[in-house]
C-alpha cells in the first residue's frame, strides 16, 4: 500500500507539519508538494494525507486552488486531512480549506478517516472544517498555538494509524 502526504504551503508552515506527520507516522510515506505535482502522480497512491493552509479569507492555499482537482481520483481511497490557519486573525473562516478538501474528498468517493476531532481548545467564530460539530481533519494554528502543534499531531496520527 503506497502512502503520500500531499501538501500546499505558501509560507512553509503546512510543509513543516507535513514533515512532522511523516515522522510520527513512521512508515514509508512520500511527501509531495501539490505545487510541483500533477494528478497522475497523486492518483498512483492508495492512501493519501492531504494538507492545506487557508488564505484570502476562506480560500484554499494557492497551489491547491489552481490544481486540476477534476483529474484527481479519490474513489475508494483512504484519505485523511489536515490544515493550518489563524483563529485570531481569521476566526470567521478558520481553516476553511480543510472543509473544502473534505467536501471534495466525499464528493469523489473517498473513505475519509481522522475526521472527528474535538474543537475544544480553539477559539473561533466559524469554520467550514467543522462537520457535525467536529473538525473534519487535524487543525493546526502556528500563528497562535504553535506550542500545541507537536501534541496535536501526535494524537491525530495515532487516531489514523490503523487506517494507514
Among 3-11, 32-40, 105-113, 152-160, which window interacts with ligand FMN (CB under 6 A)?
A: 3-11
Cβ–Cβ < 8 Å for 59, 28: no
Tell me: does residue 53 bind ligand FMN (CB under 6 A): yes
Angstrom distance (rounded) from CA 16 to CA 123: 23
User: What residues form DSSP beta bridges with 3?
Assistant: 29, 47
**CB nearer to ligand FMN: pick between 78 and 127:** 127
**CB nearer to ligand FMN: pick between 95 and 138:** 95
Tell me: does residue 147 bind ligand FMN (CB under 6 A): no
Look at residue 79 and give its three-state secondary structure: strand
Tell me: does residue 149 bind ligand FMN (CB under 6 A): no
What's the closest the beta carbon of residue 55 comes to ligand FMN, in angstroms? 5
Q: How far is CA 80 from the centre of its chain?
A: 7
The site string for ligand FMN over 94-133 (x = CB under 6 A, - otherwise) reads: xxx-------------------------------------
Question: 116 in the Ramachandran plot: left (φ > 0), alpha (ψ -120 to 50) or beta?
Answer: beta
Which pairing describes strands 78-84 and 134-135: parallel, antiparallel, or unpaired? Answer: unpaired
Per CB under 6 A, the list member of 56, 76, 121, 161 interacting with ligand FMN is 56
Tell me which DSSP letter residue 117 carries.
Answer: B
Q: Contact positions toward ligand FMN, by CB under 6 A? A: 9-14, 53-58, 61, 84-86, 90, 93-96, 142-143
Amino acid at each position: 500500500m503506497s502512502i503520500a502526504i500531499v501538501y500546499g504551503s505558501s509560507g512553509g508552515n503546512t510543509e513543516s507539519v507535513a514533515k512532522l506527520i511523516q515522522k510520527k507516522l513512521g512508515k514509508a510515506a512520500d511527501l509531495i508538494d501539490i505545487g510541483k505535482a500533477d494528478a497522475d502522480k497523486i492518483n498512483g497512491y492508495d492512501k493519501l494525507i492531504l494538507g492545506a493552509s487557508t488564505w484570502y479569507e476562506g480560500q484554499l492555499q494557492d497551489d491547491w486552488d489552481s490544481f486540476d482537482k477534476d483529474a484527481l481520483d479519490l474513489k475508494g481511497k483512504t484519505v485523511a486531512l489536515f490544515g493550518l490557519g489563524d483563529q485570531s486573525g481569521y476566526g470567521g473562516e478558520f481553516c476553511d480549506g480543510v472543509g473544502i478538501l473534505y467536501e471534495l474528498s466525499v464528493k469523489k468517493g473517498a473513505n475519509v478517516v481522522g475526521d472527528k476531532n474535538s474543537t475544544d481548545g480553539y477559539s473561533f467564530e466559524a469554520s467550514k472544517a467543522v462537520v457535525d460539530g467536529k473538525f473534519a481533519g487535524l487543525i493546526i494554528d502556528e500563528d497562535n498555538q504553535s506550542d500545541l502543534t507537536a501534541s496535536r499531531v501526535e494524537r491525530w496520527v495515532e487516531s489514523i494509524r490503523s487506517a494507514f
